[in-house]
Structure 1
Amino acid sequence: MTNGTPGNQWKTLDKDLGRIAHVEYATQYVARPMVGFGIALAFIVLAALGAALFFGQQPTSLIVIAAAAFGAYMAINIGANDVANNMGPAVGANALTMGGAIVIAALCESAGALLAGGDVVSTISKGIIDPESVSNSRVFIWAMMAALISSAMWVNLATWVGAPVSTTHSVVGGVMGAGIAAAGFAAVNWPNMGLIAASWVISPVLGGAIAAAFLAFIKYYIIYRDDKIAAARTWVPVLIGIMSGVFATYLAMKGLKRIMHIDLGVAVLIGVAVGAVTYVAAAPLIRRQSEGMENRNKSLKTLFGIPLVFSAALLSFAHGANDVANAVGPLAAIVHAEQFGEFAGKVSIPLWVMVIGAMGITFGLVLFGPKLIRMVGSQITKLNPMRAYCVALSAAITVIIASWLGLPVSSTHIAVGGIFGVGFYREWYHERRARQSTASSATVKKVAAEERRRRKLVRRSHFMTIVAAWVITVPAAALMSALIFLGLSAVFV
């Protein structure tokens, strides 16, 4: 005897299967983030095991093993946060897919770290702590450990919030806080700290101004010309030549430490030569590529797409060559102090330490990078290939100018500042045209103040979040580091 018709039985079964399917979907949704955390944790454990393998014969190897684990944790956070600045504009402009950006960035970051990363790293980051004030090697080791842990935790927190912050400034804050806790405020080189604080303003403003200037140039000489394609044939090869020359100078200065030291004058000569050769090669290619194109902005976006991809790849290579030290610098200092029983102002980086940094950045990028890439690329302001190209070019130019002036700048602040510069320039330009239209026609409808605020091309909520994160990075990392150092000292020193 059945309790209903066959049709009702099938409906009941469908409902039950639907409930089960919903539970499975919910489980997958909850479990997906845990996969990334699980892989990251496995890498941290492997880094610790690798340190045990290379350093296990030493009587105090447990400190190095712990430092290797935290160094791997720091590298993962750099990959999750810092790399977004290089790839975000290209992804936001649709010149690269998210998957393509991750592959290119992973390869270029690793190559930059392993092929061009420096052999020597400063243990007292940016000269902000007087080495004489930390004379005890055990105190020095725990100070470096506290700086490593605090900077990694701060970058992790910033990534979770969705704020691209400077990992360099995080490490600076960590070293400063531990140094103050260990030896007092007199241990800090305050003039150097003043320069670093000034860079909070100089980096984004300079990057934004340069990006806005290039965008204004592109608008005036290409976009708003009657024959856009003819103008592009004239100026796009010039812009590509400038890009190549700037990046050649940038990489000669920043990315060839392992091979040779090149001063600014020689690097500029290399850049001029590379830029001239690139211009000669690009002119016929752009002419052929532009044949048959329609006279509209969409065609121009195509011409800027490939140069933008190359610029993102070069920025990632240079970033890997320079910023891997943020992950492995304190670790290398701890390894040196454990091996020789003393600390030095500069130490060599063992290959296994550099591998931890390079692989950690790659894992962090692949597992957690998409969140910040999307935020930087599309949630601050709308980017297209021309605007993103201006951001990438301004990042390289600003670093060169800052090196010439001797200013400690942050690649994060420069790149994000470039995006702000492009967005605010577009706001200013649109408002100027709106005022001109209103003045020339009495029939134009006035827009209410609230509607004007809604139409802003830079999202103010992200702007305020990012600026606030920049301002508190050094003091927050310093406070965390001081507390961690005091805790470690109470237990181990």
Structure 2
Amino acid sequence: MDVSFSYFCQEILSNPVMLITVLLTLGVIFVNGWTDAPNAIATCIGTRSMQVRHAIWMSAAFNFLGVLVMTRINSSVASTISNMVDFGGETHQALVALCAALFSIVVYSVVASLFGIPTSESHSLIAGLSGAAIAVQGGIGGINFHEWVKVLYGLVLSLALGFFAGWVICKVVALICADMDRRKTGSFFQGGQIFGAAFMSFMHGAQDGQKFIGVLFLGVAFCNGQNSVEGMMIPVWLMILCSTVMGVGTSVGGEKIIKSVGMDMVKLEKFQGFSADLAGAFCLLLASVSGIPVSTTHTKTSAIMGVGAVKRLSAINFGVVKDMMLTWIFTFPGCGLISFVMAKIFMMFF
């Protein structure tokens, strides 16, 4: 299969469906950087360790590096996403279905972000791909359940391990610093927060960037007449393209989401924000190395809840948590249904 950058440029200029696929994929990556990446820096801003604009630019840079570096080291998350569904042997129809899946993610994510609710682009992507595959295949035969079950592992990992890691790390930090003067430790934890936010941003790029690289690579394969990318190497130009777009998306902001996650859900001190960032980044690193696609939103918010539980459960604003949980619950049927309907419509016109 030809995966050179020159062939890619020729295809998007001569193939309208490929052009739409690329624009939608890059649009989803941009939206992900805009709506999901702010979770990585929410606690850093919430504890006033960094100014908003400085934190956003730092996050953009480390998201770029996360996509680029981790995909070169271990691209198993991208492979999991690419192999999760089977759109059938007819590659043109598969490409149209892929467009429908991407369209559903953009619609769902943008609407949720307008209300300041952090969505999970990971689950939106999985739901969108699944809905489109069902539409094309006329049933669940297009779902690869061996790969899909990793999503369930990721859901448990991001929620349970995120909460547990946040609670443990915060508890240990609190015990170590119990007899120390808060004024003397403040500057240390401020620096720790900046490090933690950079680490979280890097791992966000490593996780979410890989997912969408896998989708775009699948689109390139369909244009080459291939119905799978199994065993193929992801080209460097594709990593650079996706990481750049995610970095630009992150630089746009996402102030409403920063407020919801970093300020409204739990009132954090600097050492608690540091604990949440460290816990979230650790969970994302573990999942990325294992090839399990997880939600960075789930991971970070559950880590914050774990940190809040060290004080007391009442320290958590469960009203905000409930809004987030409802959004996550509706993601699978919502995105899946939109994708199913759009796949049927797109196949009528293309």
Fold match by TM threshold 0.5: yes
Q: Decide whether aligned partners of structure 1 residues 484 and 397 sit closer, same or farther in structure 2, where only a CA change above 3 A counts.
A: same
Which residue does 1:457 correspond to in 2? 315
Matched, 1:345 2:301: no
- Structure with more contact order per residue of length (Cα contacts < 8 Å, sep ≥ 6): 2
Matched, 1:483 2:335: no
Per-residue deviation, 1:54: 5.2
Whole-angstrom CA distance in 2 between matches of 1:459 and 1:58: 47
What is the root-mean-square deviation in Å for CA atoms of aligned residues? 2.8
**Contact 1:71/1:356 (<8 A) preserved:** no
Alignment of 1:25-424 (within 5 A): 55-56=9-10, 60-118=14-72, 122=78, 125=81, 127-129=83-85, 131=86, 134-183=88-137, 184-190=139-145, 192-197=147-152, 199-223=154-178, 225=179, 228=180, 295=181, 297-338=182-223, 340-346=224-230, 347-402=232-287, 408-424=293-309
Whole-angstrom CA distance in 2 between matches of 1:64 and 1:211: 43
- SS of residue matched to 1:390: helix
Per-residue deviation, 1:361: 1.7
Q: Deviations over 1:122-169 (max 9, x none)?
A: 57726432x3x6111112111221222212222222222222222221
Whole-angstrom CA distance in 2 between matches of 1:166 and 1:313: 20
**Contact 2:203/2:284 (<8 A) preserved:** no
Per-residue deviation, 1:406: 7.2
Q: Deviations over 1:376-411 (max 9, x none)?
A: 111111112110111112113323555687754322
- SS of residue matched to 2:248: helix
Per-residue deviation, 1:325: 2.8
Alignment length, in residue pairs? 342
Gaps of 5+ in 1: 1-50, 229-294, 429-455
**Scaled by the length of structure 2, what TM-score is found?**
0.87
Q: Decide whether aligned partners of structure 1 residues 201 and 152 sit closer, same or farther in structure 2, where only a CA change above 3 A counts.
A: same
Q: Report the AA paired with residue 229 of structure 2.
A: G
Whole-angstrom CA distance in 2 between matches of 1:426 and 1:485: 48
**Contact 1:200/1:471 (<8 A) preserved:** no
Whole-angstrom CA distance in 1 between matches of 2:39 and 2:202: 13
Q: Deviations over 1:234-258 (max 9, x none)?
A: xxxxxxxxxxxxxxxxxxxxxxxxx
Whole-angstrom CA distance in 1 between matches of 2:188 and 2:90: 59
Whole-angstrom CA distance in 2 between matches of 1:122 and 1:387: 32
**Contact 2:133/2:142 (<8 A) preserved:** yes
Whole-angstrom CA distance in 1 between matches of 2:240 and 2:47: 32
Per-residue deviation, 1:58: 7.2
**Contact 2:63/2:205 (<8 A) preserved:** yes
Q: Deviations over 1:192-226 (max 9, x none)?
A: 44442354344222211211122222223323x2x
Q: Deviations over 1:264-294 (max 9, x none)?
A: xxxxxxxxxxxxxxxxxxxxxxxxxxxxxxx
**Scaled by the length of structure 1, what TM-score is found?**
0.63
Whole-angstrom CA distance in 2 between matches of 1:146 and 1:351: 26
Gaps of 5+ in 2: none
Whole-angstrom CA distance in 2 between matches of 1:330 and 1:406: 15
